[in-house]
């Protein structure tokens, strides 16, 4: 039984049953292809893999410096894959059943202060069409907390400028409405009328933020654009594609937003994913207490 064929069938099932995003599907595919290659070197294959081999593979990854988060994701992939094979009666048993999940130390996401966000958002030169586009993308990202993949994949029909909201299809095909706020809404209206028409190549393109070629921008391209503006504005922090999303959530919590509201805005299916931001609020309260309490 060909490993690649099994992987393809599994990925197809993910799309049909769970509606997982292309990025998630790609991550699953990558994990399984790496495992398949390693098993091949051990004279084995995916549908014949034993628990001991999978444990050895995970240990080898850790020895090479893989973080616990990476190993946990790999194990999640393997579990989902072998449950699919078992359900389809392609393997006699699930070799991942008695493999324990590695303990993942949940750290606070990298974020920016409000003044750093202001500096970043003010950095693009709006006299340049491309930088004007980037400025609006940064404004919308910080105002809405969208995932970068959701931002670059945004199409005109998802915008409701009259109501000031954007309709987003998130992970697992779950739809949510996210308000934009006055600053982002005004910037978006100005961009759509004055700048976007100059960037669109050919008619019928509906992508809101087209690339230089008039197509949908990649996440990696936008990440490089963010890093460029961070460098120009003097921000020395490690900027990731999710930095402004984390800043959005952090600043909401710091200003008293209810965690359930933040969960809805971020599109988290489980509140436990959002609860990491309670540590942000706790740290802020402790800092304020020590600064202002007479016995702090």
279 catalytic residue (yes or no)? no
Q: What are phi and psi of 30, to 5 degrees?
A: -60, -45
Q: Which helix (H) or strand (E) holds 219?
A: helix 219-232
Q: What is the DSSP letter of 1?
A: -
Per-position DSSP letters for 90-136, written without gaps between them = SSSS-TTTTPPPPP----PPP---HHHHHHHHH-S-TTSHHHHHHHH
Among 132, 225, 246, 268, the one annotated catalytic: 268
Strand partners, 176: 168
Q: What share of the chain is helix, strand, coil (3-state, %, to 5)?
A: 60, 5, 35
251 catalytic residue (yes or no)? no
List strand residue ranges (DSSP E) for the chain, in order: 159-160, 165-169, 175-179
Q: What is the DSSP letter of 189?
A: H
Among 147, 196, 225, 246, the one annotated catalytic: 147
268 catalytic residue (yes or no)? yes
70, 61 in Cβ contact below 8 A? yes
129, 195 in Cβ contact below 8 A? yes
Among 132, 133, 196, 242, the one annotated catalytic: 242
Among 132, 133, 225, 245, the one annotated catalytic: 245
Retrieve residue 39's tokens.
Answer: 């098993």
Please list, in sequence order, all residues whose beta carbon lies within 8 angstroms of the beta carbon of residue 131, skipping any fewer than 6 positions away. Answer: 124, 125
Centroid of chain to Cα 94: 30
Nearest 5°: CA angle at 220, between 218 and 224?
A: 120
- The residue written with tokens 């949510």 in the block is 176
Q: What is the DSSP letter of 21?
A: -
29 catalytic residue (yes or no)? no
Spatial separation of the C-alpha atoms in residues 184 and 141, rounded to whole Å: 9
Among 61, 79, 167, 171, the one annotated catalytic: 171
The residues assigned a catalytic role are 147, 171, 242, 245, 268, 277
């Amino acid at each position: 039984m060909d490993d690649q064929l099994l992987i393809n069938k599994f990925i197809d099932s993910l799309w049909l049953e769970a509606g997982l995003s292309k990025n998630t599907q790609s991550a699953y595919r990558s994990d399984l292809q790496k495992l398949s290659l390693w098993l091949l070197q051990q004279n084995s294959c995916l549908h014949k893999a034993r628990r001991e081999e999978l444990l050895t593979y995970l240990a080898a990854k850790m020895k090479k410096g893989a973080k616990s988060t990476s190993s946990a994701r790999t194990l999640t992939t393997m579990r989902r894959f072998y449950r699919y094979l078992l359900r389809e009666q392609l393997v006699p048993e699930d070799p991942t059943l008695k493999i324990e999940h590695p303990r993942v130390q949940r750290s606070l996401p990298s974020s920016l202060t409000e003044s750093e966000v202001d500096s970043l958002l003010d950095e693009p030169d709006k006299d340049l069409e491309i930088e004007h586009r980037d400025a609006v993308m940064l404004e919308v990202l910080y105002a809405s907390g969208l995932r970068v993949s959701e931002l670059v994949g945004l199409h005109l029909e998802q915008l409701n400028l009259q109501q000031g909201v954007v309709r987003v299809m998130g992970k697992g095909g779950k739809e949510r409405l996210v308000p934009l706020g006055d600053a982002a809404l005004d910037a978006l209206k100005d961009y759509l009328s004055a700048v976007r028409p100059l960037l669109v190549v050919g008619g019928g393109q509906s992508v809101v933020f087209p690339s230089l070629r008039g197509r949908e921008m990649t996440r990696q391209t936008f990440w490089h654009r963010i890093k460029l503006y961070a460098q120009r504005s003097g921000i020395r922090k490690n900027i990731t594609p999710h930095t402004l999303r984390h800043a959005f959530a952090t600043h909401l919590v710091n200003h008293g937003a209810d965690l359930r509201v933040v969960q809805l805005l971020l599109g988290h299916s489980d509140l436990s994913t959002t609860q990491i931001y309670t540590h942000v609020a706790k740290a802020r309260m402790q800092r304020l207490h020590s600064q202002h309490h007479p016995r702090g």
